[in-house]
Amino acid sequence: MSHVLVVYTDDEPGVLTRVASLFRRRSFNIHSLTVGPTERPGVSRMTVVVDTDEATARRAVEHLRKLVNVLEVQQLGVGRSNVIRDLALIRVSAGPLKRSEVLQLVEVFRANVVDIADDSLVIECTGSLGKIEALVDTLRPFGIIELGRTGAVAMARGTRTALKAAVAPLRTGTGAMSV
Amino acid sequence: MSHTGAQLIWESLIREGVEIVFGYPGGAILPTYDAMTEYPVRHVLVRHEQSAVHMADGYARASGRVGVVVATSGPGATNLVTGLATAMLDSTPLVAITGQVGSGLLGTDAFQEVDITGITLPVTKHNYLVTRAEDVMPAIREAFAVARSGRPGPVLVDITKDAQQSRATLDWEGAEPKRHLRHLPLPLDRSELDRALELIRSAKRPIILAGHGIQLSNARAEVLALAERADIPFALTLLGLGAVPATHPLSLGMMGMHGESWVNRAIQEADLLIALGMRFDDRVTGKLKEYAPHAKKIHIDIDASELNKLVPVDVAIAADLGDVLRALLPAVPVADRSDWLGAIREWKGDSAVRDIKNLPDDGHLYAAHVMHDLWRLTKGEAVVVTDVGQHQMWEAQYYKHDGERSLITSGGAGTMGFALPAAIGAKFARPEAEVWVVAGDGGFQMTFAELMTAVQEDIKVNIAVINNGYLGMVRQWQALFYEGRYAATPILSPDFVKLADAFGIHGQRVECRGDLAAAVESARAAKGTALIEFKVEQEDSVYPMVPAGAALHDMIRRPAPSVLAETGSDPV
Ligand SMILES: Cc1ncc(C[n+]2csc(CCOP(=O)(O)OP(=O)(O)O)c2C)c(N)n1
Ligand SMILES: [Mg+2]
- Strands B296-301, B315-318: pairing is parallel
> Structural domains in chain A?
2-78 (3.30.70.260), 84-153 (3.30.70.1150)
Q: Is the CB of B474 under 6 A from ligand 1?
A: yes
Distance CA A122, CA A125 (A): 10
User: In sequence order, which residues have a C-beta less than 8 Å from that of residue B338 and are 6 or more positions away?
Assistant: B231
Same fold: B3-183 with B351-535: yes
Distance CA B9, CA A56 (A): 41
User: In sequence order, which residues have a C-beta less than 8 Å from that of residue B120 and are 6 or more positions away?
Assistant: B80, B81, B84, B127, B156
The alpha carbon of B230 and the centre of ligand 1 are apart by a number of angstroms equal to 40
Share of chain B above pLDDT 90, in %: 92
Query: Do B450 and B47 form a contact (C-beta atoms < 8 A)?
Result: yes
Give the mean pLDDT of B112-132.
Answer: 97
Q: Is the CB of B472 under 6 A from ligand 1?
A: yes
Give the mean pLDDT of B193-208.
Answer: 97
Q: Is the CB of B395 under 6 A from ligand 1?
A: no
Show the beta-strand stretches assigned E in B387-524.
Answer: 407-409, 435-440, 462-467, 506-510
ipTM: 0.90
Helices (H), chain A: 15-25, 54-65, 99-108, 129-139, 162-167
Distance CA B284, CA B558 (A): 19
Distance CA B234, CA A125 (A): 61
Among B66, B187, B323, the residue with its CB nearest the CB of A179 is B66
Cα-to-chain-centroid distance, residue A80: 16
- Tell me the β-bridge partners of B514: none
A37 φ, ψ (degrees, to nearest 5): -75, 170
Q: Band the pLDDT of B216: cuts 50, 70, 90.
A: very high
Instruction: List the single best residue of A23, A177, A178 to mutate versus B (max B Cβ within 10 A).
Output: A177
pTM of the entire structure? 0.94
Task: Using alpha carbons, select from B285, B270, B190 the residue that is nearest to residue B232.
Answer: B270
Fold exhibited by the domain B3-183 = Rossmann fold (3.40.50)
Which tops the pLDDT comparison, B185 or B455? B455
Distance CA B392, CA B471 (A): 12
Q: Report the CATH superfamily, name and number, of domain B351-535.
A: Thiamin diphosphate (ThDP)-binding fold, Pyr/PP domains (3.40.50.970)
Task: Using alpha carbons, select from A36, A56, A60, A32 the residue that is nearest to residue A46.
Answer: A36
Query: Do A178 and B64 form a contact (C-beta atoms < 8 A)?
Result: yes
- Residues of chain B with C-beta less than 8 angstroms from the C-beta of A58: 308
Q: Is the CB of B391 under 6 A from ligand 1?
A: yes
Q: Which residues of chain A have pLDDT under 70?
A: 160-179
pLDDT at A162: 61
pLDDT at A80: 76
Query: Do B285 and B221 form a contact (C-beta atoms < 8 A)?
Result: no
Task: Using alpha carbons, select from B138, B143, B146, B129 the residue that is nearest to residue B170.
Answer: B138
Residue B568 clears pLDDT 80, i.e. is over it: no
Q: How far is A80 from chain B (nearest CA, A)?
A: 28
Distance CA B366, CA A171 (A): 53
**Angle in degrees, CA A123, A126, A130, rounded to 5:** 105
Show the beta-strand stretches assigned E in A29-94.
Answer: 30-37, 43-51, 70-76, 82-93
Q: How far is A173 from chain B (nearest CA, A)?
A: 5
CA atoms within 13 A on the CB side of B285: 18
Q: Is the peptide bond preceding residue B544 cis, with omega within 30 degrees of 0?
A: yes
- Tell me the β-bridge partners of A127: A86
Q: Band the pLDDT of B567: cuts 50, 70, 90.
A: very low
Instruction: List the single best residue of A17, A21, A178 to mutate versus B (max B Cβ within 10 A).
Output: A178
For B125-183, the pLDDT digits (tens) are 999 999 999 999 999 999 999 999 999 999 999 999 999 999 999 999 999 999 999 98
* CA distances from residue B12 to A135, B141, B169, B171 in whole angstroms, order as listed: 59, 7, 13, 10
Task: Using alpha carbons, select from B155, B135, B160, B151 the residue that is nearest to residue B143.
Answer: B155
For B328-367, the pLDDT digits (tens) are 999 999 999 999 999 999 999 877 766 777 777 788 899 9
3-state helix, strand, coil in chain B (%, to 5): 40, 20, 40
The alpha carbon of B419 and the centre of ligand 2 are apart by a number of angstroms equal to 14
Distance CA B8, CA B15 (A): 10
The CATH number of the domain covering residues in B190-348: 3.40.50.1220
- Tell me the β-bridge partners of B439: B465
Among A10, A62, A69, the residue with its CB nearest the CB of B305 is A62
Of B88, B142, B161, B496, the active-site residue reads B161
Q: Band the pLDDT of B571: cuts 50, 70, 90.
A: very low
B473 catalytically annotated: yes
Residue B296 clears pLDDT 80, i.e. is over it: yes
For B62-102, the pLDDT digits (tens) are 999 999 999 999 999 999 999 999 999 999 999 999 999 99
The alpha carbon of B475 and the centre of ligand 2 are apart by a number of angstroms equal to 9
Task: Using alpha carbons, select from B18, B8, B9 the residue that is nearest to residue B60.
Answer: B18
Give the mean pLDDT of B41-51.
Answer: 98
* CA distances from residue A54 to A47, A58, B68, B230, B538 in whole angstroms, order as listed: 17, 6, 40, 36, 50
Average pLDDT, chain B: 95
User: In sequence order, which residues have a C-beta less than 8 Å from that of residue B569 and are 6 or more positions away?
Assistant: B358
- What are the residue ranges spanned by the domains of chain B? 3-183, 190-348, 351-535
Query: Do B351 and B265 form a contact (C-beta atoms < 8 A)?
Result: no
Q: How far is A123 from chain B (nearest CA, A)?
A: 39
3-state helix, strand, coil in chain A (%, to 5): 30, 40, 30
Query: Do B158 and B82 form a contact (C-beta atoms < 8 A)?
Result: no
Distance CA B267, CA B255 (A): 8
For B527-549, the pLDDT digits (tens) are 999 999 999 999 999 999 999 88
B161 catalytically annotated: yes
Distance CA B301, CA B212 (A): 10
The arrangement of strands across the sheet holding B94-100 comes to B42-45, B20-23, B67-71, B94-100, B154-160, B126-130
| DSSP output for B127-142 | EEEE-SGGGHHHHHHH
Burial class (CB within 10 angstroms; exposed 0-12, middle 13-18, buried 19+) of A79: exposed
| C-alpha torsion angle, residues A14, A53, A151, A98 (rounded to 10) | 160
